[in-house]
Amino acid sequence: MKPLTPSAALAAVVGAAPLPRTEVVSKMWVYIKKHKLQDAANKRNVNADAKLKEVFGKAQVSMFEMAGLIGKHLK
Q: Where are the alpha helices (DSSP H) in 1-75?
A: 8-14, 21-34, 50-56, 63-71
The confidence score (pLDDT) of residue 66 equals 93
The confidence score (pLDDT) of residue 1 equals 82
What CA–CA distance (Å, rounded) separates 2 from 60?
29
Question: What domains can you pick out in the chain, each with its CATH number?
Answer: 8-71 (1.10.245.10)
The per-residue pLDDT string of the chain (75 residues; one tens digit each, 9 = 90 and over) reads 899 999 999 999 999 999 999 999 999 999 999 999 999 999 999 999 999 999 999 999 999 999 899 999 999
